[in-house]
Every structure is written in structure tokens, then in C-alpha cells.
Amino acid sequence: MGTDQIIYEPIGYFSSKQTKPYEAPRQSVLARSSLGVVKLCAPLTKDCISDLKGFGRIWIIYDFHKNKSWKPKVMPPRGAKTKKSVLATRSPYRPNSIGISCVRLDKVEGLSIYVSEHDILDGTPILDIKPYLSYADSFQDSETGWIVPQKRYKVVFKDSLADKVHWLEERSNLKFSQILINQLEFDPTNRKCKRVKKTEKGYIFSLQAWRIPFKIIEDRVELVDIYSGYSAEELDATTDPFGDKELHRHFRT
């Protein structure tokens, strides 16, 4: 790396309900229901974004603020079984922790830019905003290197599970439904990139201390149930790594 330094000041920060990496989809276009807000700060004024209205999509350039290191080869979250060169991926573990996402522009109010279909975490420092131009930014016949199209599974919740997930979402900050879809609709059994365990009856996906059994049936991922992964002894212990033991106790009763 060179000795010259380039220093950027954030022009704003991102606000969303996605606070941890596993809550966000792997690409913004896959985040059908994700909502977020870019909250701009001084010295920016309304004049800086007054003509942004009317664009369907925008590019958001930001800092991967949760990552402090990088690697020359990384394991992509999907599409590969071996590590790939970091600059041939969109991994956040980069020499310069710069991210870019093309998101849907919903509205502009004051110094707030409301967007959807994003993959950006809450609190992310925003470095720049640019309009998306389909005639300049889209090349449908461009080759995609090592990336090949992947089978997309339909994630199905059994009725009894749907009720439990709804109960949990009302009492926690985790968007269980969206996280499970994001994690399992592509390559659901990839144990190198996901917390998935093979069992005699199928598979179990782990989300923090929650366990979700599922089966693969043709083109469907059928989620069967959800239960606490804590043992009785672990629930009685004073340590609470996810701050959710009280919810687990309530769920069990």
C-alpha cells in the first residue's frame, strides 16, 4: 500500500433496522422489503439534493465501518465453493473498505433520502450519492467471470412456524422472516458460509441462539419449526451474549 493518505468525511449516515451483517441480503436488488434512510449532515444543504427527485435508483457509496481488516482471497457468500480474489468479489473485507449499492429511491424530504431494496447496515457512514443511469450503468451482455447463475429456492414457512415467527418479531428487533429468506433462498446448505447443520431429517439453520429445522423439497426450502438453542443450564447462567435469554424463557413457556 502507498504512503499517501486520502481522507474522506462522511456526508451523512444510514438508518435502517439492519444492524448485523447476517440481517442484510447479499446484494441490494435481493432486498425486496428493506427500507432505510440516508440522513445527510453539514455542510450539505437541501440544494445538494434538490434535483434528485425523479430518479428511480441511486448509487450509495459508503464505508464498511464494521470491518477493520482485509484478505487477498475471500469466501463469497454464494456462487463459489472455494476462495476467490478479493478484487473479483464484492466482499466487505477489502484493502479500502468502500462499498457501493444501487438502491431504489423512494422519496426525498429535507436532508433525508428514503430508499428501499438496500443491503446497508444501520449507522453506516455515507461517502457519496450518485444517480443511477440505465443507459450508462447497465450492460446486460457483460461477462460475469467465475460467477454463474444460481438456483433460487422458494422459502416456505409452515403454518405453525409462521405463528411463532410472528410472535418473535413482535417482541424482538430481529426480522426473522426476511433474514431466513435472505440466508436460505440461494445455496441453503452451504456450511462454509452459513450456520447450517445436516441432520437425519434434513438441516438446521442457526440464527443467534435460535434453531430452525428445514427440508429441501425440489425447488422449495420448507422451514419446519423454530426452537431455542439454549440448554436449561445455559438459560440459568448469568452470561447473555445476545441479550435475549428473557425472550427465550418467555418463548419456552
Q: What is the CATH number of the domain that holds 234?
A: 3.30.2310.20
Residues 85 and 166 in one domain: no
Cis before 131 (ω within 30): no
Residues 28 and 116 in one domain: yes
The DSSP H or E segment spanning 177 is helix 176-184
Domain range spanning residue 102? Answer: 12-137
Domain-embedded: residue 142: no
pTM value? 0.69
Residues 199 and 243 in one domain: yes
Domain-embedded: residue 4: no
Residues 193 and 118 in one domain: no
Q: Contact at 8 Å (CB) between 48 and 40?
A: yes
Q: Contact at 8 Å (CB) between 14 and 120?
A: yes
Residues 98 and 159 in one domain: no
Domain-embedded: residue 193: yes
Domain boundary among 85, 112, 137: 137
Residue 29: give its domain's CATH number. Answer: 2.40.30.70
* Residue 40: strand pairing partners: 12
Burial class (CB in 10 A: 0-12, 13-18, 19+), 119: buried
3-state secondary structure of 211: strand
Query: What domain count does the chain have?
Result: 2
Give, for all 253 residues of the chain, the pLDDT tens digit.
566 888 999 999 999 988 877 666 655 454 555 789 999 999 999 999 999 999 999 999 999 998 888 989 988 766 667 888 999 988 888 999 999 999 999 999 999 999 998 889 999 999 999 999 988 888 878 877 877 777 889 999 988 899 999 999 999 888 898 889 888 988 899 887 789 999 998 999 999 999 999 999 999 999 999 999 999 999 999 999 888 999 999 998 8
Domain-embedded: residue 207: yes
Say what the alpha-carbon torsion angle 108, 26, 197, 168 is, to the nearest 10 degrees: 0
Domain boundary among 96, 111, 137: 137
Grid-cell match 409452515, residue found: 158
Residues 112 and 212 in one domain: no
